[in-house]
């Protein structure tokens, strides 16, 4: 399933999506990173288990595969957006209040555990459980984003 918005920043309006060039296999309802490609512009690419709070950008609405000439709609993550997420492990109340990284095997899933990911890869903070503790369950939470613009001549990710 990937990620699903629960509400958007406490407002009762439709969230805005932007059209961005995509690179790689981008799937609907999966998170994407904002990747700078030097003076050639920037693209969104699928998040990975090593994506950091300075890289994760938003939620893709479209499917794209291939080079950066394909455009996808993306809802940028902002403070106050709550999302429901599928979990790689059984969800428990011990996982709430903790930061989690993405699953290495499924980019639309959180690698949830009872250990706080205190590094920059702890991109999702769980605040509540959804459903039962038996079985897979889901977590409710928000993305930790920390975007800062970098110089146009810098060819690294957003920092």
| Max Cα distance, the chain (Å) | 50
Cα three-residue angle 45-158-121, rounded to 5 degrees? 75
DSSP reduced 3-state for 121 = coil
Radius of gyration of the chain (CA): 15
Contact 45, 55 (CB under 8 A): no
Residue 152 has pLDDT above 50, yes or no: no
Confidence at residue 135, expressed as pLDDT on a 0 to 100 scale: 57
Do strands 64-76 and 18-26 pair parallel, antiparallel, or not at all (unpaired)? antiparallel
Name which residue leads in pLDDT, 9 or 59.
59
Contact 128, 140 (CB under 8 A): yes
Kindly list the distances between the CA atom of residue 149 and the CA atoms of 34, 67, 121, 140, in Å, as whole numbers in the listed order.
11, 24, 19, 29
Domain ranges of the chain: 12-76
Confidence at residue 150, expressed as pLDDT on a 0 to 100 scale: 45
Cα three-residue angle 100-102-104, rounded to 5 degrees? 130
Share of residues in the chain with pLDDT > 90 (%): 31
């Amino acid at each position: 399933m990937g990620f699903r918005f629960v509400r958007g920043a406490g407002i009762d309006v439709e969230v805005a999506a932007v059209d961005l060039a995509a690179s790689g296999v981008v799937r609907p309802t999966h998170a994407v990173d904002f990747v700078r490609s030097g003076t050639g512009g920037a693209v969104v690419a699928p998040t990975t288990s090593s994506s950091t709070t300075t890289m994760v950008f938003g939620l893709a609405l479209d499917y794209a595969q291939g080079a950066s000439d394909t455009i996808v709609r993306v809802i940028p993550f902002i403070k106050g957006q709550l999302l429901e997420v599928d979990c790689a492990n059984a969800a428990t109340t011990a996982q709430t209040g903790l930061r989690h990284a993405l699953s290495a095997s499924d980019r639309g899933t959180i690698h949830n555990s009872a250990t706080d990911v205190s590094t920059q890869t702890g991109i999702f903070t769980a605040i509540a459980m959804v459903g039962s503790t038996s079985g897979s369950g889901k977590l409710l939470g928000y993305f930790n984003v920390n975007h800062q613009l970098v110089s146009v001549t810098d060819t690294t990710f957003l920092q």
